[in-house]
Structure 1
Amino acid sequence: MNINLSSNIPKKYREQLYSVGAYAKKLGLSAWVAGGAVRDFYLKRPTLDIDLTFSGNQESVAGFCVKQWGGGKRKFSQFGTFRVNMADGLKFDMVRMRKEKYPYPGALPEVEFSPKVKDDLFRRDFTVNAWCFSILPDTFGQTYDAFGSQKDIDNGIIRILHDKSFLDDPTRMLRAARFAGRFGWKLAPKTERLLREAVKGEYLLLLTRERFSREFLKVLKEEKIKNIFLLMEKYDMLKFAWPGLQWHDALLRTQDVQERMGILVCTLGASGEDFLRSLHLPKEFSQEILGAWKVTREKMSPLGSLSPLQKEILNAVLPGLPPMALEPCFVRGRELKDLGLAGRRISGALDRVRQAQWAGEVKTREEAQAFLKAH
C-alpha cells in the first residue's frame, strides 16, 4: 500500500527535502528518500542520516545543498555516492538509482545504474529498509512500497529480500540482530532459518576484518545494546567477533563506543589485547583502551596518571576498587634510590607499594613510605 508521509516529516527536514526535490525537478530528475530514514519517519523516530536516490547524476544536487545550508560534500568514487554533511548536523547520502551484483560471496558490490527505483530498493538489506517516498514538489511524501515494507514494519518483522542476501553481504547477519534488538522486532521464520544456515556456514568469515569491525562498532553505538548482544548470543554470532566474547552488564553504564569497547577488551582477560588489535581500529582509539587493559592485568596502581576514560572503564569492570587504587603510585623510583635501593630491588619495592595501594592498604604518601620501611 502506498501512503503519503509528508505529515510525518519534521518541518525543518520537510522544507529542506522539498527544496532538494524542487531543484532536482529543474534538472529533470526523479528524487526519492529511501532506506532507513523512511522507516524512521513512518515510526516518528528522530534521524539525522537520510539516503537520497536520483534518476541521474546527483553531483549538482549535492553542491546545491552545501550552497543552501553550509557544510561540505565528499565523493565515494567506488559507488558514485556523494555524502553531504550540512552545518546543522543533517547528513545526506546521495546516490544515482542503481542495481548491484556481488562478484563473489562477501565481496563489495559491483554497481550498474538503473532507471527503476524498484531496482534501487531491491539492493537493500531488509524489507523494512526497502521503502521510499518522492521529494518532487508534485508528489512530495508519496511512498512507493514494492516489497511490503509498511506491513513488515507494522508487524515488527525483519525479512531479507532474497535467499542469497546473507551470502552476498554477511554484514546483514549483524544488522539483522541490530535492527531486531533496536526495535524489539522478530526475524521472519525463513529469514531466521537462513541466518542460522549462514552462521553454520561461517559467512561472517568471508568479510575482511575491517568490514566486520565497522559493523561491530555500530552495535556498540546502540541504545538497546543488551537486546542485540542477547540475539547475537542466541544465533551464536559473538564468536565471530572473538572467542569467549559475551555480554557484560557494565556495558549498560555508558553509551560511549570507546568506553564500551574498553569494557569488552578488559573483560576478555589475557586475550583482550589480541581482540582489540584484530579490529584494526585507529591508534588513537585503541591506545587508551590498552592502557586500561594493562592495569586490569597487573592489578596494581598505575605508575602514571590515568585518563578519565581509562578510569571509567576500570571502575566499570572492577567495581568496588578502593578510592586510591587508580591514582598514580604514591612513591617514585627516585625516592627508592635515596633509600639505598638499586636495580631489581627498586622495581620489586615499587610493585609491592602499587599492590598495597591497589588493595587499599595504603591511602596516602606517608602510609606508602611507612609501608616501604616495614617491608
Structure 2
Amino acid sequence: MIIILSHQFLDFDALAAMAAAQKLCPEAVLVIDGKYSSYVQEFLSLAKEQLPYYRFKDIDVDKVEKIILVDTQEIERSIGNKKLMDRLRTIPIEIIDHHPVVEPDGQNQIIEMVGACTTILVEQIQQRGINLTSFDATLMALGIYDDTGSLLFANTTPRDLLAAAYLVEEGAELAVMAEYLQRPLTSEQKDLFQQLLDNGVIEKYNEMPVFISYAESREYFSGLALLAHRIGEFENAEIFFLVVKMEDRVYLVGRARGGSSLPLNEIVQAFGGGGHEKAASAVIKNGNIDSIIRLLREEIKLRAEKPTTIRDIMSYPVKTVFPDTSIEEVGKMLLKYGHTGLPVVQDEKLVGIISRRDVDKALKHGLQHAPVKGFMTRDVITVQPDLSWEEVQKLMVLHDIGRIPVVENEILTGIVSRSDVMRLIYGSVVPTLNELARDRSIARREEILRHIAGLPQYIQDDLAVIREAASEMGNQVYLVGGFVRDLLMNMPNNDLDIVVEGNGIELGRILSKKLTCDKLVLHASFGTASLIFCNGTHLDIASTRREDYDFPGALPVVEESTLREDLLRRDFTINAMALCLNEDSFGDIIDYYGGFRDLQQKEIRFLHNLSFIDDPTRMLRAIKFAVRYEFKLAKVTADAMPIALKEDVFAKISAERFTEELILIYKEAKFQRMGRELIRNGIFKAWFKADYAWNFEEAESVGEQRSLTERWLISLKNLDSNEISAVLDRLTLPKSLKRITLEYLRLKQALKLEDLTDLKNLDELLAGVPLLLFNILGSDDAYTDPLKKYRLLREGIQMKTTGKDLRQSGVREGPEIGSILKQIRLAWLEGKIRTPDEEKRYLEILLEKNDRADCIDNKPI
C-alpha cells in the first residue's frame, strides 16, 4: 500500500498537493488524520465523494510499503500512529515540498522554492498530459492561490502563475475559490498576529527601516506567509522578519516589498533556509528566539547597503522661469523642451510651479502678457536630496503629485518624478494613472457597496434598472458629481447625475421607458437628457464631454471626450469622482484627481489653477461647499481667489449666472456663515462694486427656520434704500422675490418719512402688509419700538362693523362707507373703543353725524 501524507495542520495547499500526488500515483490512497481549519473541514465534508480519504485507524499500517509526503519534510508531524512511526526506517519516503530544507538526509526529495507545493505537482501533471476534472482543477488552483495570497505574496513565482493559468484552462471555478479564500484569520492566527504586532519594532540599518518581531505558540499551524502579508499592511517598513516558535522549532520568515536591495535569501541561508531576494524562510530545530534574532541582526548589518536617495535618481539641472516671466514665454519654453511644467524661482529660491495646462488656458483667455506669478501653484511640496526614495513615494501618494522639486539649502537642485521612482521599483514596468486610480477604487469597493445598500429602496431599484440599460447599450455608465460625494460622506442625496461613454440621448430614452418618468427633456446640442419624476426627484444623463471657455465667464463649448476629461471639467476634486454602474465593476470609484483624499482631509480644492478664471461663480460654490461640510479651502484654492478678483473676472459674468449661484447659497442651512465668507473673501464687494453692511449675523438656528424670502430680506436689513436699489440693479431675482423686495424698499422709504407716532398714517401704510414684511421691518432698530407698539394695538382690534352693516343702516354706496370704517378702526387703535359695545355706540354717533351731513347737503338753496 502506498499512502499520501501531509502535515497534520492541513491547509488548502497541502490538501491540493495530496490530490495532485494521487493523480500522479493513482494506486496511492490519501490519509488525513490531524487538525485542519474550518474552511478545509467544510470543503472536505462537501467533497467526500470526489476526494475519498482514510484515517490511520481505517488502514492496516503493516501493509504500508511507501509514503509520499507533500508540503512538508517533517514526517513526524504527519503521522499520528505509533505503530507506523516504529516502521519508518523500513519504509521508503518520497518528499515533495516548497519550504527550505530542514535537515538534508539524502532521501528521495523534490524541494523547489515556489509559492505553493501544488505548483510542483501540477507541472508534472501537465507534462504527463493527465486529464483533470473541473473539481480537480478547482482544488489545485485553490491550493496555489491560498499559499500565494491569490498570487500577491512576495514568494509567488512565474511558475505559480503558469500553473494557475493552466488550471483555469482545465476548468477551475474562480467563484468557488473566492468563496473559500475570502476568509478571516482563525483564532490561533489572530493570537499569533497580535503577538507579532505587540512585540515588533522597526530598526534602521543604514537608514533602511526593518521590522523585526517574534511570537510563540505551543502548537504548530500554517499561515505564517499570510500573517507576514498582513503585517505589511500595518507597519511602515519595506522589510519584515518574523521569528515564530511553534512546538520545538523556530520558523523564520522574511519578506520585502518595493525597491529594497536587501537580499533576504542570503540572510536566511545563515539559518539553513532559502528562497529569493524578496521572500525567504528557514526552519530551525530546537532554536532559541533570542539567539536567532541576535544572529539575524548581525546578518542584516552585513548586507544592508546605503539606501537609494533622491540625489541618485533626480534630474538636474532644472529648467526654470521667474515670477515676472510672461505666460507667452513660458509656453514657448514648455514647447521647446517638451516639459509638462516648470519651477518658478526668485533669487535662486523656489516660489512656485507652473503647469502646461494652466499656461494653455491662460493663453486661450488672451492673457499671454500676464506674469506667471498670477497662475503658478504656490503651495509646492519639496524634498531634500538625501531623503530616501520610499519617503518621496509616500509624499507622491499622499498629495497625488507626479513631480517634486528637490531643494538643498533653499536652492533648487533637481526634480524627481513619479516615473523616476517607478523605474527604481519596477524597472520599465510603470502602471498607468488609470490603473492606479482603479487599484485605489477596488480597495474601497466593499465600503461603497455598503453605502449603496443603505440607500432608499427606490434609488437602489433605479440603479439596478440603469445597470440593466447599460448592459443593453454595451456602454460604460457612471454616477458622477454630488451624489457620489455625498454617498462617500454617508449623506442623503436623491438627485442622480449619470454620465455615459456613448449616447446620452439614447440612454435617456431607454430609461424614460424603463423608469416610467413623468417628463423627459432632451438637449441634443449638449447630448443630455433629464428624467423628471412626480416625487420631485430628477435623473440627469449626459454623454462624456469636454468643456472649453472662449473667454472668462463664457458658456462652455462642448465636445465629446473621455470620462477622464469629463471629470476634469468639473469644479472641485470632491465633485470629480465617478461610480461605475456596469455589472462587472458595479461600485468601483474612479478618482483621477484625489477627490477621496480631499474628502478625508476635509479640503475644497479646484482642479486647475485657472478654474476661477474659466468660471468665476466657482468661487461662490467653493465657499458653499466649505461651509456646508465644515471643510476648509485648500491653500492653493484660497490663494487663487484674490488673483481672480484682481483680474476683474466678474466683469463678463451675466447677472443671471451670479444670481443663480447666490440664490442657491441663500437656500443652504448655513447661509449666514456662507454670507460672511463671501464678504470676507471680497466676493460681494467685487460683484456689487461696494462694501455694503450686509446682515449675516442672525443665529444659525433662527436662519434654518426662515423661508428664502425672509433670509434674503433680513440680509438687506442694514442697507439703506439707495443701496438696496443698487443691489437689485446687479441681480436678476425671480419675479416674486423681486416684487416683495421692491415692496420692502417702498415701505422702508415711506417709514423714513412718516411720523411714527401718527397712528392714522401708520395704519394706512401698514394695514395690508404681510406679516413677513411687517416682522422684518420691525427688526430694524429705527422702527422696532413704534412698530411693536402699533402691532400690539393692531392685534387688540376686535372690529365687527362691515360695509354690509353700513349699507343696511342706510349709508349710501361710495366713499362714505370707507371713511366710516377707517374712523372706527382708528378709534380702536387710539383706545377710544375697547369693546364691541363701545364700537356699537361709536358707530351710532358716526351714523347720526352722517345723517345730519346728508340733510345739510340735501337742503334747498
Does the CA-based 8 Å contact 1:265-1:293 persist in structure 2?
no
Listed as ranges, the matches of 1:77-226 within 5 Å are: 77-114=524-561, 116-226=562-672
Q: Offset at 1:338?
A: 6.5
Q: C-alpha distance in 2, partners of 1:364/1:76? A: 65
Q: C-alpha distance in 2, partners of 1:46/1:211? A: 26
Task: Report the identity percentage.
Answer: 28
Does the CA-based 8 Å contact 2:695-2:714 persist in structure 1?
no
Q: For each residue in 1:105-132, what CA deviation from the matched residue of structure 2 results, as whole angstroms up to 9, or x when unmatched?
A: 1111100011x21111000101011101
Q: C-alpha distance in 1, partners of 2:560/2:669? A: 36
Q: For each residue in 1:262-318, what CA deviation from the matched residue of structure 2 results, as whole angstroms up to 9, or x when unmatched?
A: 223443221213322431223233112221232222224425512344345435556
User: SS in structure 2 opposite 1:267?
Assistant: coil
Q: Offset at 1:139?
A: 1.6
1:74 aligns with 2:537: no
**CA 1:232–1:78 in 2, change beyond 3 Å: closer, same or farther?**
farther
Residue in structure 1 matched with residue 246 of structure 2 by the alignment:
none
**CA 1:335–1:172 in 2, change beyond 3 Å: closer, same or farther?**
same
Residue in structure 1 matched with residue 747 of structure 2 by the alignment:
295
Q: Offset at 1:37?
A: 1.0
Residue in structure 1 matched with residue 486 of structure 2 by the alignment:
40
Report the more deviating stretch, 246-255 or 186-195: 246-255
Residue in structure 2 matched with residue 307 of structure 1 by the alignment:
770
Q: Offset at 1:239?
A: 1.4
Q: Offset at 1:136?
A: 1.4
TM-score, length-scaled by structure 1: 0.83
User: SS in structure 1 opposite 2:788?
Assistant: coil
Whichever of the two has the greater Rg, that structure is 2
Q: Offset at 1:173?
A: 0.9
Residue in structure 2 matched with residue 267 of structure 1 by the alignment:
718
**CA 1:180–1:106 in 2, change beyond 3 Å: closer, same or farther?**
same
Q: For each residue in 1:321-343, what CA deviation from the matched residue of structure 2 results, as whole angstroms up to 9, or x when unmatched?
A: 32644969x99x9569969xxxx
Q: Offset at 1:199?
A: 2.1
Q: C-alpha distance in 2, partners of 1:291/1:173? A: 31
CA RMSD, Structure 1 to Structure 2 (Å): 3.3
Residue in structure 2 matched with residue 246 of structure 1 by the alignment:
694
1:322 aligns with 2:788: yes
- Residue 788 of structure 2 aligns to which amino acid in structure 1? P
User: SS in structure 2 opposite 1:125?
Assistant: coil
**CA 1:291–1:144 in 2, change beyond 3 Å: closer, same or farther?**
same
Q: C-alpha distance in 2, partners of 1:96/1:209? A: 29
Does the CA-based 8 Å contact 1:38-1:131 persist in structure 2?
yes
Residue in structure 1 matched with residue 683 of structure 2 by the alignment:
237
Q: For each residue in 1:228-272, what CA deviation from the matched residue of structure 2 results, as whole angstroms up to 9, or x when unmatched?
A: 122212211121443305233347264422222222344322121
Q: 2:728 aligns with which of 276, 295, 315?
A: 276
Which is helix-richer, 1 or 2?
1
User: SS in structure 1 opposite 2:483?
Assistant: helix
Q: C-alpha distance in 2, partners of 1:315/1:75? A: 48
User: SS in structure 2 opposite 1:111?
Assistant: strand
Q: C-alpha distance in 2, partners of 1:83/1:156? A: 31
- Residue 536 of structure 2 aligns to which amino acid in structure 1? G
TM-score, length-scaled by structure 2: 0.38
Q: C-alpha distance in 1, partners of 2:830/2:747? A: 18
User: SS in structure 2 opposite 1:238?
Assistant: helix
Report the more deviating stretch, 145-154 or 89-98: 89-98
Does the CA-based 8 Å contact 2:504-2:527 persist in structure 1?
no
Q: C-alpha distance in 2, partners of 1:206/1:284? A: 26
- Residue 112 of structure 1 aligns to which amino acid in structure 2? E
Q: For each residue in 1:118-169, what CA deviation from the matched residue of structure 2 results, as whole angstroms up to 9, or x when unmatched?
A: 1110001010111010111222211111011101011111111111110001
Q: C-alpha distance in 2, partners of 1:77/1:178? A: 31
Q: C-alpha distance in 1, partners of 2:685/2:832? A: 45
**CA 1:324–1:187 in 2, change beyond 3 Å: closer, same or farther?**
same
Q: C-alpha distance in 2, partners of 1:79/1:308? A: 45
Report the more deviating stretch, 144-153 or 187-196: 187-196
Q: Offset at 1:205?
A: 2.6
Q: Offset at 1:72?
A: 1.2
Does the CA-based 8 Å contact 1:182-1:227 persist in structure 2?
no
- Residue 6 of structure 1 aligns to which amino acid in structure 2? L
- Residue 471 of structure 2 aligns to which amino acid in structure 1? K
Unaligned runs of 5+ in 1: 340-348, 371-375
**CA 1:19–1:163 in 2, change beyond 3 Å: closer, same or farther?**
same
Q: C-alpha distance in 2, partners of 1:25/1:143? A: 19
Q: 1:21 aligns with which of 456, 463, 467?
A: 467
**CA 1:123–1:117 in 2, change beyond 3 Å: closer, same or farther?**
same
